[in-house]
Amino acid sequence: MIAASACLLGYCCRYDGRTSPSPALVKRAHEEAVLPICPEQLGGLPTPRTPSDLYGGDGFDVLDGRARVLDRDGRDVTKAFLKGAFSALEKLTKRNIQVCFMKDKSPS
């Protein structure tokens, strides 16, 4: 089994309630088991939601406490993003999934 960002598989989980399907991944999901993962929803954020951006560094800096994730209304959603990231990691680890295709240009 592999995993992929849920929005790449056609799930409407993006901040704007839409999807960003990758035709190649959607096709692959019809041929083999692909676990959909949406860390933002796993972190408890609603859909649709205010989009968020990284401030002060990258995702590694967020993990180290040197950067934050703020939504465009100025709310600090760092905890939700961390919760979602660790929840996603737990799901991948539990199933021993070694390959995960993730959406680029997403703070999560």
Closest to ligand SF4 by CB, 78 or 106: 106
Instruction: Tell me the C-alpha distance between 47 and 18, whole Å.
Output: 9
- Phi first, then psi, for residue 86 (nearest 5°) are -70, -35
Least distance CB 51 / ligand SF4 (angstroms): 9
Least distance CB 14 / ligand SF4 (angstroms): 4
**Segment interacting with ligand SF4, rule: CB under 6 A, options 21-29, 37-45, 63-71, 93-101:** 37-45
Q: Which of 22, 34, 40, 78 binds ligand SF4 (CB under 6 A)?
A: 40
**Segment interacting with ligand SF4, rule: CB under 6 A, options 1-9, 27-35, 72-80, 93-101:** 1-9
* Size of the residue set binding ligand SF4 (CB under 6 A): 11
Least distance CB 103 / ligand SF4 (angstroms): 4
Supply the DSSP string of the chain, one letter for each residue.
-EEEEGGGGT---STTS-----HHHHHHHHHS-EEEE-HHHHTT--SS---EEEESS-HHHHHTTS-EEEETTS-B-HHHHHHHHHHHHHHHHHTT---EE--SS---
Binding site for ligand SF4 (CB under 6 A): 5-7, 13-14, 38-40, 103, 106, 108
